[in-house]
Structure 1
Amino acid sequence: MAFIQMALYSETLEMSTDVNVVIPLDSKCRLQDGKLPVMYLLHGLGGDHSQWTRQSSVERYAEEKGIALVMPRVDRSYYMDMKQGADYFTYLSSELPSVLQSVFPISNRREDTFVAGLSMGGYGAFKLALRNPDRFAAAASLSGSLDMVHRLSQPEVFRNGEEGRIFGSIQELKGSDDDLFALACRVAASGNQPKLFQCCGTEDFLYQGNQNFLKHAEEIGLQVTYEEEPGTHEWGYWDRKISRVMDWLPI
């Protein structure tokens, strides 16, 4: 495995930022065109691009599966084109893949492209795949903050009014392309759905929000592989579940 710490200037963000990349070196992992399947792995609120490799064994799991990992830094943006701030979603969905595909041997085909994330990153992963179902074959949310309309009604979650700077108002979020419930309806109606994996510990403070999204998905016919078990919002749980996600991916 090669572990690359990359700094780049983003034209979208108008600033320098960081991304960590893991590349399997064994040639037997490569596809017929020499490229590698890739998973974008998203961090949680308060984390950064180093979080997954510092806190879990994801590098080892990726080596076993022969999949490249891309771990971007998005700060506390919730993977949004912020109302007052940088366009992190545009950076993640458009600019970053283009840059990385020009540098590393990673595939740009839908069937080889996946995304997963924890907490805030679970929201980001589902949003990225549901807004781009023609580009992502599968997405996984681990303890994801999936019911953001409900979360936005709890101001203690955020600090110094940042919820307004990120999302605007609840009214602006609800029904928009940043509302997973609305996105799920559109994708279910289109028939072009990526595979979805959702899990959350039953003692997690985000458990009810996960139940809300799961119920909504069932009502509209959106297919979701769902798993729950005892667990809280912590790395022991996420390390186990990201290994499970690697086994679940359609590689």
Structure 2
Amino acid sequence: MNILLRFLLIGGLLVGTRQHTLAGRVDTVLVNSAAMQKSLKCVVITPDQYSSATAKHYPVVYVLHGHGGNYNSWISKVPALASLSDRYQQIIVCPDGANSWYFDSPLNPALRYETFVGTELPAYIDATYRSMPDRQHRAITGLSMGGHGALYLAIRHRDTFGQAGSLSGGVDIRPFPNNWNIKDALGEEATNAANWERNTVINVADSLRNGELRLLIECGISDFFIDVNRALHQKLMQQKIDHDYAERPGAHTWTYWGGNIENHLLFFQKGFAQ
């Protein structure tokens, strides 16, 4: 084998290896919330080429954790997010939502997570990173409590988000009055029923008009949230709201969420391209 051919083959192998291992950069940042008078940690994943000399701007996907999780849950459980950020050329932001259900609590002024994730955090990302700062290039999704939060925030902040998804989302909180700290934000359901009615996704969806949001809703068929997801799907069909809905084998587990998050990033990428 001549020297030139050997060099080209080795170079090709090296390039091929480099392309296979490209991954985004994972940073943890502190973001101030004026509404809550404190700073919160967020993971921000930027594509591999973000730090290059180009002036390219990127769409942003906000990915929300579930109850009992934090800002680090997604990247620690699904490290492939770094590679997916690069594959789809998206900035991925994972904020800390505590166990808030992403509400602005009508009872507790210390809980202003709707304001933080729906307003303050996008403003910070757009001021700090080369994002595409318009609703057409912002999407939001999440798992469980975060699936509820993603739909809740997108519907209530349609000027901020153009697309939303939900993985195993608790999209109707009313059947679970004593679970997952919901009453810390809304009060006891028996004495604060109006708070629960106003802040459950299946009712918030009443304000939607067709075409205002691109929506992807999915849930595992063995998940305890499957019935409320089916009910939301039926309601959206009755309201003639276009949306993608999927039921897949799986339960309320990281195996399901990690195995399906790429579907959401691909769905959003198609929407960004439009």
Question: Which residue pairs with 1:145 in the alignment?
Answer: 170
Runs of 4+ in 1 over 3 A off after TM superposition: none
Q: 1:146 and 1:86 mapped to 2: Cα distance?
A: 20
How is 1:117-156 mapped onto 2 (pairs within 5 angstroms)? 117-152=142-177, 155=178
Letter in 1 for 2:213: P
Find 2:208's aligned residue among 170, 183, 187: 187
| Aligned partners of 2:36 and 2:112 also within 8 Å | yes
Moved more, 42-51 or 167-176: 167-176
- Residues 122 and 144 in structure 1, CA contact (< 8 A), matched pair in contact too: yes
Post-superposition Cα deviations, 1:67-118, rounded to whole Å, max 9, x if no partner, equal 0011100110000112223211111111111122111111211111100100
Which shows bigger deviation, 213-222 or 122-131? 213-222
Aligned pairs, how many?
A: 241
Letter in 2 for 1:132: H
**Higher mean Cα deviation, 84-93 or 47-56?**
84-93
**2:69 match: secondary structure:** coil
Q: Corresponding residue for 1:23?
A: 46
Q: What are structure 1's unaligned runs of at least 5 residues?
A: none
Match of 1:165 among 150, 169, 184: 184
Q: Quote the Cα distance in structure 1 between the aligned partners of 2:70 and 2:195.
A: 25
- Partner Cα separation in structure 1 for residue 115 and residue 221 of structure 2: 33
The Cα shift of 1:227 comes to 0.8
Q: How does 1:69-148 map to 2 (within 5 A)?
A: 69-82=92-105, 83-84=107-108, 85-148=110-173
Q: Tell me: CA distance 1:106–1:9, structure 2 relative to 1, closer, same or farther (3 Å).
A: same
Structure 2 equivalent of residue 46 of structure 1? 68
Q: Is the 8 A contact 1:204 1:231 kept in 2?
A: yes
- Deviation per residue, 1:26-52 (Å, 9 max, x gap): 26x999x73210001100000001111
| Cα distance in 1 for residues equivalent to 2:45 and 2:148 | 23
SS in 2 for 1:150: coil
CA deviation string 1:12-65 (max 9, x = no partner): 1112210110111426x999x732100011000000011111111222112100
Amino acid at match of 1:185: D
Identity of aligned residues (%): 25
Calculate the TM-score normalised by the size of structure 2: 0.82
Distance 2:86 2:166 in 1: 21
Answer yes or no: is 1:239 the counterpart of 2:262: no
**Structure 1 contact 149–173 (Cα < 8 Å) conserved:** no
Residue equivalent to 2:57: 35
For CA contacts below 8 A with separation 6 or more, give which structure has more relative contact order.
1
| CA distance in 2: counterparts of 1:64 and 1:166, whole angstroms | 38
CA distance in 2, matches of 1:105, 1:179: 34
Indicate the structure (1 or 2) with the bigger Cα radius of gyration.
2
Unaligned runs of 5+ in 2: 1-23
CA–CA separation in structure 1 for the residues paired with 2:86 and 2:194 = 42
Query: How many angstroms does 1:163 deviate by?
Result: 3.2
The offset of 1:182, in angstroms, is 2.4
Asked whether the equivalents of residues 31 and 124 of structure 2 are also in contact (C-alpha less than 8 Å), the reply is: no
Aligned-residue RMSD, C-alpha: 2.1
